[in-house]
Amino acid sequence: MPIPEKTAVLVISFGTSYPETRKKTIEKIEKDIQQAFPDLPCYRAWTSPRIRAKLKKRDGTHIMDIAEAMIQMKNDGIRNVIVQPTYVITGFESDAMKKEVLASEKDFDSIVICDSLIVTQQDKEEVCQALIREYHPASEDLLLLMGHGTEHIANELYPEMDRLFKESGCPNIHIRTVEGDFSLETFLEELRTIHPAHVHLAPFMIVAGDHATNDMSGEDDDSWKSILEKEGYSVKCTLKGLGEIQAVRDIFIRHTRAGLDRLSEIQA
């Protein structure tokens, strides 16, 4: 079906104050979506007031929040909005984002909110395979992925993905989270029984920002790297966000395309 006229894509991210990972992740996702749908204008909004304020003060860079982006699109004559969030899961951030977006519903003919990265079984399997291809850890080593975690019911996704790696033939790939009840502490006893030759840490987050730099690989005593080294393990850290992996970015494009299909059906 043809895409209705005056349609735009709004890519919504939490944001990051780390410019290098921003270029490799959020900006790459935005560019890939723009290249996939070259006839559609692509807008950006970040939801973290703290990060947006930091960039404004430090770099003089203003990044729109959701309300500003919706006003900008309205002023630009956009009538249909495809919202593509770059969140990993559909948790509290996603719930708040949807509420903010739909507050401007009366200003547009249609607003379609696309899925976050991992929602369906297809999403889970594609992310799983993308990470297996990306890291393919040696059998004597262990890859431990750091997820964000949340008190939201969506936190169930992390243990689901942890199991999926095992079911996909990779028993040495594990996930634990910074927040929520699927923490590193819950894994240490199991880790002692495995006792791998090396532990490889990598973020299970779109960007390799503050959590990856400090909570995962930092030198403070409470970083995952420090905790594991105290346990006697040889630890390697990779600061590579999920957004740097092409197969992951392709999932966002697929979700955006599904949103455009829904829009076409709505307006048919």
Tokens found for residue 115: 């899925």
How far apart are the C-alpha atoms of 219 and 226, rounded to whole Å?
A: 6
How far apart are the C-alpha atoms of 7 and 110, rounded to whole Å?
A: 9
Q: Is 88 left (phi over 0), alpha (psi -120 to 50) or beta?
A: alpha
Catalytic residue among 148, 200, 211, 255: 148
Strand 141-147 to strand 110-113: parallel, antiparallel, or no bridges (unpaired)?
unpaired
SS3 state of residue 254: helix
148 is catalytic: yes
Residue 197: burial class (beta carbons within 10 Å; 0-12, 13-18, 19+): exposed
Tokens found for residue 198: 């090396």
Catalytic residues: 148
